[in-house]
Structure 1
Amino acid sequence: MFPQRIPRKFKDEYKEKLLQRVTLRGPSGDCWTVALAQRGEDIELRNGWRDFVKDHSLEEGDFLVFQHVENSLFNVLMFDKTGCEREDSHFVIQDRDIRAENCCYMRDNKTDRPSTIPREFADNCLPMVSQEIRLRVGSKIWRVSLNRRNVQCTLNKGWAHFVLDNNLETEDYCVLELADTGTSRQPLTLDVHIYRAVEKIVPLKVILP
């Protein structure tokens, strides 16, 4: 996968647009600058491509669709071995200080039921007993009850208020990042990064008990 050869048909079609560097815009909207290098009759993606692959956790068998936008900018769509779009590619965090193993993404923004946390993240990063935790968006904090029952881990009391206060729609995604594990006096804290399906926010109105 390192380096990556550009298909010749694609190269011939866009050779006038391919400069020494191209910008690849992933599904998250973030951009990566990747250098091009000539090798015989082929053009390869070189410097910067490894970061793009690593940040998106691309594996052998995944396939990408490059869409030319303008000049040297390309949108990149990502699909797994089954042909389904890689949903996790929409929530890539480029910050090198954030470790992927300390994050998970979820889209369960209902106010009338608990929100289920992915099991792998819950088992690796969260307490094994039910307790109150903190959700943090910027400088604002919400206290939410974390409920453990058998193998399931859910956010219960306080979750509906978090959804309403942040105007979370059904198609919005949240990335949960372990900020600190807490102390005897301070509960565990999860930073929440919100990715919205639409830019315009419509305030939610629900009567809570």
Structure 2
Amino acid sequence: MLTVSHVLMITSFSFILLNLGYFFPLSFCWFTYLSWGFKAVLTSAAASEFTLERALHFLFLFKASRYHLQMARSAPVPAFFQVLVGDFSEKLKMPTAFVNDFNGPALCKLRGPNGKCWDVKLEEKNNDLFFHKGWKKFVKDNYLEEGDFLVFNYDGNSLFSVTIYDESACEMDMEEAKRKRSTGGLVGQMRDYVMPGETRLRIIEFKSEHLCFKRTMETHRLYQLNIPIIIARAKGLMSKRTIELRDPSNRSWPVAVTPMEDGRTLMNKGWCDCYKANQIKKGNTVVFEFVKGHVKLHIVRDEGYEVMLTGPNIVY
């Protein structure tokens, strides 16, 4: 006779056999085992002592063992991190410990926080492995700066998922980074003007109470840069040998100043190191703001913006 104990035992056994399908291939004929289990339960003397409490306990133990089996089968995802320092915009070195166990293809994909992927070619040099061709575009498109902290998770199939952390030690807000970093952190109002002929002009209005000037970088300005005569005289630069520049990361750069016979004052030695470290490129606009004791730099990398300086001490 089919008793309550039999029903409990059959139900428990059915649950387990049904869940075995999670671990075994579909071709596994667990229906056969289920039929065998029903027969064994109906003829088992132990079924008479199979209470509801024991059935629940049995199911709990099975679920716990299944969980641990899942955890054991889940291999850890290979990963590494890198802090962006120095000249990281052209290529980025992988950690040696990761490379020793890496056997992926020469062409990989980097998936950014927004889900978009970039093709990046790996370069081997002196037994080191670098993200190289394509890496520069990934840096530019994700507004990466020195000091950013990147975590690379490798899925084993030529794909790296990249998580980006900024100076706040939290995941980077990409929209905020786009707004702030593409305009060099300038605090001002962005405006779009439609000029005659339907030409759209994008303007950043930068207000300052300090003496300041701007320069759009050209090839000759990457090595030395002319300071307006009015500012040089107002700040007494003709009698100084160096000035201190502060970049957007608040790093200090001592730069030599040289007065010329025609009245101009040039920034030269030290300026080249500053622009290289900040990845200043031809076409970028740099605002030089003379605050107390140093010159603050604002770098606008987006060439689609025209910077308009406003204030009582603006010099062009």
| The two structures share one fold, judged by TM-score above 0.5 | no
TM-score class, shorter: 0.3 to 0.5
TM-score w.r.t. length of structure 2: 0.31
More helix by share: 2
TM-score under structure 1 length normalisation: 0.45
Larger C-alpha radius of gyration, 1 or 2?
Answer: 2
Larger proportion of strand:
1
